[in-house]
């Protein structure tokens, strides 16, 4: 059998399965597991962009596809029970966001799981390799091991006198390869890093007070801070006069000084493409994990002026967006 014949056979089988499902009135059911909050509390609009991606591919939620959303609302201990509930329904595909992959994998080894975003799925043991995942998990990786090092460089360009950088992170955060690269970059830039771990959003205000008291010149938000409210950060930035940089543009839009990272709008739209392919017969184990191709720098010039900072023109010209 030639490769062309094999592919044609796979596509025919997928078409037949889909046609049979339609004939029997079976509507595909998707489970979405999130550690955060439902709209309107979802500041990152993940649900909006995921459903937009589905519509682009001909799926209309509530019509020819059903989506079961489960939100932990910051209480991670709820995730295993929620994942188990989705398996019992059962759903045809689970889409996970944030820190939910472990719960989803513990709940099922057979239902396909689509990663909406994971910083390093190979190191985490979720897939065997990016090219051939090998199990029931595939999706999108936000693997950008140099992103925090790049953020430090951007902070130094914006703040030439920068010395002390506070790193806001989650409690019990693993010492990953990305963290090691960040520390190496800090040494090269002659910057002093001090970590301030928090375990929940209720500790954010106290952490900012401690960073201010410690004499921090700026704050770098570690990528694993999924539960932080962008508007609260903006208020604390002005209160303590602490310039901050984050990996999500929503923080710069809300009032942080800068953001540099993956375009998450595209990430969440693309996760719908994985769901579409799986529903049409594709096997997760053979679907390569996608890596980010677009990074964006957003600078909030309004915040800079409020903090009495003059952002160099060369840096403003590099920005994908400058908020006036």
Among 250, 249, 255, 257, CA closest to 162 = 257
Residue whose C-alpha is closest to residue 271's, from 66, 119, 96: 96
Evaluate whether 3-143+264-293 and 147-262+296-323 have a shared fold: yes
Distance from C-alpha of 56 to C-alpha of 14, rounded to nearest angstrom: 20
Domain boundaries, the chain: 3-143+264-293, 147-262+296-323
Q: Tell if the pTM clears 0.85, that is, is over it.
A: no
Q: Is the pLDDT of residue 293 over 60?
A: yes
Q: How far is CA 61 from CA 48, 80, 86, in A?
A: 11, 25, 17
Which pLDDT value is given to residue 19? Answer: 46
Q: Domain 3-143+264-293 belongs to what architecture? A: 3-Layer(aba) Sandwich (3.40)
Main-chain dihedrals φ then ψ at residue 237, nearest 5 degrees = -60, -45
Name the residue among 260, 258, 229 with its Cα closest to residue 247.
260
At residue 224 the predicted structure's pLDDT band, cuts being 50, 70 and 90, is low
Q: Is residue 24 over pLDDT 80?
A: no
- In whole angstroms, what is the distance from residue 322 CA to residue 24 CA? 52
Mean pLDDT of the region 217-230: 81
**Residue % of the chain over a pLDDT of 90:** 60
Average pLDDT in the chain? 86
> 58-92: per-residue pLDDT in tens?
999 999 999 999 998 878 789 899 999 999 999 99
pLDDT of 309 reads: 95
- Here the tokens at position 54 are 């589905």
Q: What is the rounded distance in angstroms from the CA atom of residue 87 to the CA atom of residue 29?
A: 11
Q: In what order do the strands lie in the sheet with 321-323?
A: 192-198, 164-170, 218-221, 244-246, 258-262, 295-300, 321-323
pLDDT of residue 161: 93
Backbone angles phi, psi at 197, to 5 degrees: -80, 140
First to last CA, the chain: 61
Which strand (E) or helix (H) includes residue 147?
helix 147-158
Geometric angle at alpha carbon 185, from 181 and 190, rounded to 5°: 150
pLDDT, one tens digit per residue, over 104-146 is 888 999 999 999 877 778 877 889 999 999 999 999 987 676 8
Sheet with 29-34, strands from edge to edge, namely 66-71, 29-34, 93-96, 113-118, 137-141
Confidence of residue 43 (pLDDT cuts 50, 70, 90): low
> What is the rounded distance in angstroms from the CA atom of residue 311 to the CA atom of residue 324?
12
- Per-residue confidence (pLDDT) for residue 14, from 0 to 100: 42
CATH number, span 147-262+296-323: 3.40.50.2300
Q: Does the pLDDT value for residue 4 go beyond 70?
A: no
Q: How confident is the model at residue 8 (pLDDT cuts 50, 70, 90)?
A: very low
Instruction: Spell out the residues 6+ positions from residue 258 whose beta carbon is closer than 8 angstroms to its own.
Output: 151, 154, 155, 158, 243, 244, 245, 246, 252, 297, 298, 299, 300
């Amino acid at each position: 059998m030639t490769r062309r014949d094999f592919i044609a056979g796979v596509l025919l089988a997928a078409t037949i399965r889909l046609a049979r499902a339609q004939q029997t009135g079976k509507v595909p059911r998707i489970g979405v597991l999130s550690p955060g909050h439902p709209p309107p509390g979802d500041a990152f609009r993940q649900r909006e962009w995921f459903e937009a991606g589905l519509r682009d591919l001909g799926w209309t939620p509530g019509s020819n596809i059903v989506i079961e959303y489960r939100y932990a609302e910051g209480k991670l201990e709820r995730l295993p029970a929620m994942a188990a509930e989705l398996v019992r329904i059962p759903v045809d595909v689970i889409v996970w966001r944030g820190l939910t992959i472990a719960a989803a994998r513990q709940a099922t080894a057979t239902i396909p799981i689509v990663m909406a975003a994971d910083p390093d799925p190979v190191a985490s043991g979720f897939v065997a390799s990016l090219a051939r995942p090998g199990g029931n998990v595939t999706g999108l990786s936000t693997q950008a091991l140099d992103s925090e090092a790049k953020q430090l460089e951007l902070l130094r360009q914006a703040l030439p006198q920068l010395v002390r950088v506070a790193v806001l992170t989650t409690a019990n955060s693993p010492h990953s390869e990305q963290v090691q690269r960040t520390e190496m970059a800090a040494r090269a830039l002659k910057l002093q890093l001090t970590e301030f771990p928090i375990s929940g959003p209720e500790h954010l205000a106290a952490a900012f007070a401690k960073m201010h008291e410690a004499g921090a010149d700026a704050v770098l938000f570690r990528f694993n801070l999924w539960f932080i409210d962008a508007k609260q950060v903006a208020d604390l930035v002005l209160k303590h006069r602490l310039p901050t940089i984050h990996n999500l543009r929503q923080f710069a839009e809300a009032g942080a000084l800068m953001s540099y990272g993956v375009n998450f709008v595209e990430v969440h739209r693309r996760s719908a493409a994985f769901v579409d392919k799986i529903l049409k017969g594709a096997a997760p184990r053979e679907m390569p994990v996608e890596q980010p191709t677009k990074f964006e720098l957003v600078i909030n010039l309004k915040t800079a002026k409020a903090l009495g900072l003059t952002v160099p023109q060369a840096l403003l010209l590099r920005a994908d967006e400058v908020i006036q």
